[in-house]
Amino acid sequence: MNYFYDFWDDFISLLFPRLCYACGNHLLRNENLICTECYVVIPRTNYHTDMDNPVAQLFWGRCMIERAAAFSYYNKGSRIRNLIHNLKYKGIREIGYELGRIYGLSLKSSGFTADIDLIIPVPLHPTKMRIRGFNQSEIISKGISDATGLAVDVKSLSRKTKSATQTKRSRYERWTNVEGIFQVIDPQTIMGRHILLVDDVITTGSTIESCTNELLNVKGVKVSVVALAFAVV
Ligand SMILES: [Zn+2]
């Protein structure tokens, strides 16, 4: 019987090949979403083991962040970039969950999340949420949550107005563009908590800065930050 099912599997995969979302190569029967080679060669920053890493330095003198880290580097043509692209624009949510889970395991075992109370994903504007159907940072957060046991709070922080597309703007324009667009809905629920803010990619850090400033208005709140990738500019 098994032989028959294996044959059937092979036949189906000839018609509908299962490809790695990072490199495009064919997946083996025991592989899912990402091939073994990509798991191995996707570079890890290991920033979570170094408190003075480049992501943390990005916020120095800008806002008070306890700890900051990113899973990998966001370079043109990189495998992690392909994965995030497939997550955001092709709607392959399992990618965000899986990468979040893998990263969550490292964060937990290193002690990075030891004194964190809850996870808050960077909110997506409601209009964008309606078009995309999901918030990628929320999916990543669920993976981190399952690995660390920390709860995800998607209600306490919201996004107020739509910011125009940021890709063609200067760093200053981007900063002014996101300043004041986030809002804490219920300060009571996050008062005195250490929050892990989760984003997909950190580039200039302006979105994180804006979220953090809003969260820090609540008494006793501390903020740490993680993302799947850091775009070195
Ligand atoms: Zn691959």
Whole-number Å distance, alpha carbon 57 to ligand 1 midpoint, is 31
List per-residue pLDDT tens for the chain, 233 residues long.
577 777 777 776 677 789 999 999 999 989 999 999 999 999 999 999 999 999 999 999 999 999 999 999 998 889 999 999 999 999 999 999 999 999 999 999 999 999 999 999 999 988 888 899 999 999 999 999 999 999 999 999 999 865 555 555 555 555 455 667 899 998 999 999 999 999 999 999 999 999 999 999 999 999 999 999 999 87
CA 122 – CA 200 distance, rounded (Å): 9
Residue 200 Cα to ligand 1 middle (Å): 20
* pLDDT value, residue 117: 98
Question: Distances from the Cα of 24 to the Cαs of 18, 27, 77, 130, 156, in angstroms?
Answer: 9, 9, 12, 29, 38
The confidence score (pLDDT) of residue 142 equals 98
Q: Are 166 and 201 in contact (CB under 8 A)?
A: no
Contact 33, 25 (CB under 8 A): no
Taking alpha carbons only, the member of 210, 161, 220 closest to residue 187 is 220
User: How close is the Cα of 34 to the center of ligand 1, in Å?
Assistant: 5
What is residue 174's predicted lDDT score, i.e. its pLDDT? 52
Give me the pLDDT at residue 189, please. Answer: 94
- Residues found in the chain: 233
158: nearest Cα among 130, 182, 127, 191: 182
pLDDT value of position 180: 78
> What are the backbone dihedrals phi and psi of residue 41, each rounded to the nearest 5 degrees, phi first?
-90, -15
Enumerate the β-bridge partners of residue 227. 70, 199
Rounded to the nearest whole angstrom, what is the distance from the C-alpha of residue 129 to the centroid of ligand 1? Answer: 29
| Ligand 1 center from residue 81 Cα (angstroms) | 12
Give the pTM: 0.88
Query: If you measure from the C-alpha of residue 41 to the centroid of ligand 1, how many angstroms do you get, rounded to a whole number?
Result: 9
Cα of 18 from ligand 1 centre, angstroms = 11
183-205 burial, b at 16+ Cβ within 10 Å, e below that, comes to ebeeeeebeebbbbbbbbbbbbb
Q: Which residues, at least 6 apart from 210, have a Cβ–Cβ distance to it below 8 Å?
A: 178, 179, 180, 181, 182
d(CA 181, ligand 1 centre) in Å: 37
- Residues of the chain by 3-state class (helix, strand, coil), percent to 5: 40, 15, 40
Q: Report how far ligand 1's centroid is from the alpha carbon of 184 (Å).
A: 40
- Using the mean position of ligand 1's atoms as its centre, give its distance from the Cα of residue 17 in Å: 14
| Predicted pLDDT of residue 177 | 54
